[in-house]
Amino acid sequence: MATPTTTSAWSVREIDPTSFNGLALKESVPLPKLGDYDVLVQIEAVSLNYRELAIPRGLYPFAMSLPVVPGSDSSGIAVAVGPKVTKISKGDRVYTLFNELHQAGEITPEGVGSGLGGAVDGTLRNYGVFPEHGLVQAPQSLSAIEASTLTCAPLTAWNALYGLQSKTVRAVAAGATVVATTSSNDKVDALKKLGASHVVNYREIPNWGEAARALTPKGLGFDHILEIGGAASIAQSLKGIKLGSVITIIGFLTSSDTQPALMEALNHLCIVRGIFVGSKVQFEEMNRAIDSIKLRPVVESKIFSFEEVKEAYQYQWDRKNFGKVVIQVGNKPEACTVRIYGWFPSLDICSSDSAGFGESITVSSLLKEIELVAVDHIKTTATVILDGRVPGRELLQRDAVLGKDVGTRDALLDKVKGIAVIYHIGFVVVVSRCLW
């Protein structure tokens, strides 16, 4: 494939406080020449933050110039690299660093001025040329869609928790108890499933700071509060904080004409810390943790196409999402591979081609059932083969070549899991070269 010289790109052309009509899609935008230390990235997926919604509505509190390509979070494939690039190779999956010049330590004014989708053009485009230092290798355990969610929100949370080591590690090491806030009771069960011990609805309980504080041991308050609301909610966070602890301001979802006085921090003997995402060093630390514990981001099941950017913005603006809203930029791969590995408890049973549990079922019929499940969810056909041995077990391998109409990995996994339980088999599903 010839190296592209142009790209399609979304742009914030003007501010419109009532809609997202200030967004426009431009075709054949020239790409800059690849420099010695640059990487040309084919963008696969972009996820949205509140910042993306705030900019075209005129709600972003920081100075910036228009027009600008929006988006900071993305994953993609390196399709060309400059001659002096050393850490990224052609074909690597990478994702973007929010502030390209924030490499390590505390952020500098230069770092603040290098934010994608604000100070400089962002990621809502098919291709982009980025400096090597502005890219990070994607975790091996995540798909492109999952990896596209890590640039801003997860890294900000990582920085909030670990940026002040002496103040936060004690609580984390002891096994932190999490209390979450929400505006919707529909999200309570999902938050608890993700690990929240308690959930407080701040629409039903306006004085939620004291209500949340009452849930802490002896009512002393929280060791650490991640404040995403901003001006209208910081007063409640101050009511909930424990003496000598930390409030990290990481968002600006709300506005207010009245805000707590600066001296409130002294009254509560707490640290109030504002952060702007995180550094590349912190990003790489977070990725190692993600791969180590196989942590998976929560992604909204509805994935938007590149042409549906305005719809994606509106979907998040209307608060219809629970997980991250993702826009799939590139087409799905023409082909990708799913391998379903299953094994029976006994090699003899496999060899005799009969499972022997209750009603008789042959290996071939079991594989056929798995194949039907896969066909139902990934809309494809594939050949099932016996392949290789593991100690004491016959390994059954099914390779599926996927077309463009694919379901989700989780849906496929759940169906195969159901078969495994019924027929007493173990299984592993390995997905490669798929957006999901």
* 436 residues of the chain, pLDDT tens digit each: 688 999 999 999 999 999 999 999 999 999 999 999 999 999 999 999 999 999 999 998 888 899 999 999 999 999 999 999 999 999 889 999 999 999 998 889 999 899 999 999 999 999 999 999 999 998 878 888 899 999 998 898 888 877 765 444 433 434 567 888 888 888 888 888 777 888 889 888 888 888 888 888 889 888 888 887 666 677 888 888 888 888 888 766 565 566 666 667 667 778 787 778 899 999 998 888 888 888 888 888 888 999 999 999 999 999 999 889 999 997 543 333 344 444 433 323 332 233 333 333 344 444 455 554 444 443 333 333 333 333 333 333 333 333 333 344 455 455 555 554 544 444 444 333 333 3
CA distance 102 to 259: 30
- Give the predicted TM-score (pTM) of the model: 0.66
Of the candidates 407, 379, 404, 375, the one whose C-alpha atom is nearest the C-alpha of residue 301 is 407
* DSSP class of 124: -
Q: Report the C-alpha gap between 272 and 238 in whole angstroms.
A: 9
E-assigned strand segments in 50-164: 73-81, 93-96, 127-131, 135-137
Q: Within its chain, how far is the Cα of 106 from the centroid?
A: 24
Domains of the chain: 6-155+278-328 (3.90.180.10), 164-274 (3.40.50.720), 337-432 (3.30.70.260)
Question: Which two three-digit tokens encode residue 102?
Answer: 């924030």
Question: Which residue(s) pair with 230 in the sheet?
Answer: 254
Other Cβ atoms less than 10 A from the Cβ of 377: the count is: 20
What is the total residue count of the chain?
A: 436
CB neighbour class for 173 (10 Å; exposed up to 12, middle 13-18, buried from 19): exposed
Task: Name the β-bridge partners of 399.
Answer: 339
